[in-house]
Amino acid sequence: MEKIIIREKKPKFIQTFRTFSSMFTIQNRNSQKRTFRKIELQEIEIPEAGLKINITFYTPEFDAYELRTFLYILGNINMDREKIKCIDIPSYLLSIIKDDDDINQNQDNNNDSVKDKDVKKFVEKLKLRLSTENENYKKLMIYESNWSDILSKIGLTYNFKNIEAVKDTLILLQSSSIRIKVKNIKENKTVLDLVSNLLLLNADFNTESKRNNKVILVFNPLFYAVAFSKTVFKSTTNLEVFRKLFEKDANMTIVYYVLCDKVNFGKEVEFTINDLEYACYGNLTKKKSTKSKRKKFLLKALDEIKKLSNGSFIIKAREDGKIKVKRLPDRENNSSYSEKRNM
């Protein structure tokens, strides 16, 4: 009898909130230094939606391996939608945001009238404060799994070392904060003002049983909006291209994620080599030798991305240091480009 091999289905695309690439940088893997930084992005204008967006991150510098963990977990959550639980956040649990609120400020919520203690606990631990009339941003997304399943989806063997590595990444993501303000240009009105940690991790480790190693992830409302609503704030990454790049050089995936995040389908964006260096490394070096090495690596990564993206990215590097990047819809992802998008 012929042996039938059942191959596990892998996610091909993942959509994340635009600008998340700012948290991930190319780093020296030998360095043990972990730097937290405040990243204030330039104001983003989306003319087709009539919106202006201001975003600030307070986050450690994540590397390519942590980017892989982040994207693979989100990708597989999207595949396991039956395991996702979405809960509404009652309006009385959301604190009013003031302009002088610090992004990393912890505010206690002592509302004794709250009946749903679990929701209250999640809101408080996420340090979530929110002001909006859009119901898509008033929901939390909860995913329950175990370490064995999570590691296998990332492509890691089940052992204590790998569990600790993934757990450390999730803990750092848990400590990362975002502040986003979205303004309707025509009405001169703020339509979304959100401050929150990215996610909440609740996990244990039982050496005697893989199945009892429960992992619960609670994601802030931005993740629900990307996963379940039509929004202009999505960026799409082809995970098959990501995997191939990771096999060649993990740091090339940082360059790829930056391009996916900054270049929308059907658009063309012009970068300078300094723009890419800053986006991928988090800084601009003044050392000529380091500058030369970085430029060489970035150009090599762009060449690999052009080859592996199967025509999705058309990249032209000019002698004056300017790089034009045009993005076409992936063959299997035309719907992501053609769908009507709303805030």
Domain ranges across the chain: 14-236, 239-332
The pLDDT value recorded for residue 96 is 55
CA distance 195 to 58: 11
Q: Please state whether the predicted TM-score (pTM) of the whole model is above 0.85.
A: yes
The pLDDT value recorded for residue 18 is 92
Q: Which has more confidence, 123 or 106?
A: 123
Largest CA-CA distance found in the chain, in angstroms, rounded: 70
- Evaluate if residue 342 carries a pLDDT over 60: no
The pLDDT value recorded for residue 11 is 81
Would you identify the CATH topology of the domain 239-332?
Arc Repressor Mutant, subunit A (1.10.10)
Residue type, 303: D
- Evaluate if residue 118 carries a pLDDT over 50: yes
- Evaluate if residue 236 carries a pLDDT over 80: yes
> Which of the residue ranges 106-115, 131-140, 320-329 would you say has the lowest mean pLDDT?
106-115
Q: What is the pLDDT of residues 73-87, one digit of tens each?
A: 999 888 888 889 999
Q: Which has more confidence, 30 or 44?
A: 44
CA distances from 266 to 27, 64, 312 (A): 31, 27, 10
Residue 324: CB partners within 8 Å, gap ≥ 6?
268, 269, 270, 271, 315, 316, 318
The pLDDT value recorded for residue 336 is 40
CA distance 179 to 168: 23
The pLDDT value recorded for residue 339 is 39
- Evaluate if residue 274 carries a pLDDT over 60: yes
The pLDDT value recorded for residue 122 is 92
Q: What is the pLDDT of residues 168-220, one digit of tens each?
A: 999 999 999 999 999 999 999 999 999 999 999 998 665 555 666 789 999 99
- Evaluate if residue 71 carries a pLDDT over 80: yes
The pLDDT value recorded for residue 284 is 95
Whole-number percent of the chain with pLDDT over 90? 64
- Evaluate if residue 227 carries a pLDDT over 60: yes
- Where residue 6 falls (left for φ over 0; alpha for ψ -120 to 50; beta otherwise) is beta
Residue type, 79: M
Mean pLDDT of 108-133: 75
Q: How far apart are the first and last CA of the chain?
A: 55
- Evaluate if residue 101 carries a pLDDT over 60: no
The pLDDT value recorded for residue 340 is 38
Grade residue 142 by pLDDT with cuts at 50, 70 and 90: very high
CA distance 48 to 53: 13
Mean pLDDT of 39-68: 93
Grade residue 102 by pLDDT with cuts at 50, 70 and 90: low
Q: State the helix-helix crossing angle for 239-248 and 252-262, rounded to 10 degrees.
A: 150
The pLDDT value recorded for residue 165 is 93
Mean pLDDT of 316-329: 91
- Evaluate if residue 4 carries a pLDDT over 80: no
